[in-house]
């Protein structure tokens, strides 16, 4: 017995010490449990925003209408309405928005038949304008929030301006 006790501490243990390993694994488990389910990927949309919110947006709204074929009708107060491809949308918005001071609001509208994927992609394209393409993705995601995407309320037939053709039916 005496021999056993004296030689005990000097013996080299050949097993790994698992206690800290278990600690680390448990802590990792808890961290994952807490952090993983709380992330929700969202694109925030303002549902139909009242045009009278701010005078500036009411007077010169930028209205982007996506046609059934995927192209866009671009409306702003500077130039005439024009139909552009989805590749040109970012470019066009960038030039128009850079001249705007104050709140940056883009109204979006969609013709019948546009699938929801395109609706959300359009918002994605609008958000992309806020930052240069070369910026890191995390930065771009944050910057995207600076531009507000608002849904344009469909016009009532009785309030429609007969001189302004509806982009969905006129082309």
Partner 1 sequence: MGGSAGKKGGLRALPKKPKIDQVRNEINVTPLVDVCLVLLIIFMVITPLMARGKDVPLPKTELHSEEKDKLQPVVSIGKDTKTGELMVWLAGTSAQGKQELFEIGRLDEFQMSQDGEQNIMESEARDKLAKEVNRLWEVTKNLEAKGRLFMKVAADVPYEAVYPVLMAVNEDLTLTTIDLGTADKRGGE
Binding site for partner 1 (CB under 8 A): 1-3, 18-19, 21-22, 25-26, 28-29, 32-33, 36-49, 110-121, 123-124, 127-128, 137, 140-142, 144-145, 151, 153-158
* Distance in angstroms between the alpha carbons of the first and the last residue of the chain: 99
Shortest Cβ 152–partner 1 spacing (Å): 11
* 79/103 with CB nearer partner 1: 103
Could you tell me the smallest distance in angstroms from the CB atom of residue 2 to partner 1? 6
Distances (CA, A) of 33 to 26, 39, 127, 162: 11, 12, 31, 58
Min CB(47)–partner 1 separation in Å:
4
**Closest among 103, 128, 101, 111 to 43, alpha carbons compared:** 128
Buried b (16+ CB within 10 A) or exposed e, 12-34: eeeeeeeeeeeeeeeeeeeeeee
**Residue (55 or 159) nearer to partner 1, CB:** 159
Q: Which is nearer to partner 1, 79 or 145 (CB)?
A: 145
Lookup: tokens for 38: 């709380």
Considering the complex, state which of residue 98 and residue 113 has its C-beta at the smaller distance from partner 1: 113
How far apart are alpha carbons 117 and 154 in whole angstroms? 20
Residue 156 or 161 having the CB closest to partner 1: 156
CB of 89 to partner 1, least distance (A): 14
For residue 68, give the DSSP letter: T
């Amino acid at each position: 017995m005496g021999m056993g006790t004296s030689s005990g501490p000097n013996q080299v243990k050949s097993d790994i010490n698992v206690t800290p390993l278990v600690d680390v694994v448990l802590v990792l488990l808890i961290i994952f449990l807490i952090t993983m389910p709380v992330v929700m990927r969202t694109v925030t949309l303002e549902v139909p925003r009242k045009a009278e919110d701010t005078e500036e947006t009411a007077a010169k709204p930028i209205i982007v209408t996506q046609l059934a074929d995927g192209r866009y009708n671009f409306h702003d107060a500077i130039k005439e309405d024009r139909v552009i491809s989805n590749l040109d949308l970012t470019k066009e918005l960038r030039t128009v928005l850079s001249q705007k001071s104050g709140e940056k609001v883009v109204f979006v509208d969609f013709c019948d038949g546009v699938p929801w994927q395109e609706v959300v992609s359009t918002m994605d394209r609008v958000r992309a304008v806020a930052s240069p393409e070369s910026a890191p993705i995390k930065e771009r995601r944050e910057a995207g929030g600076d531009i507000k995407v608002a849904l344009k309320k469909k016009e009532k037939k009785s309030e429609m301006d007969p001189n302004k053709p509806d982009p969905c039916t006129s082309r």
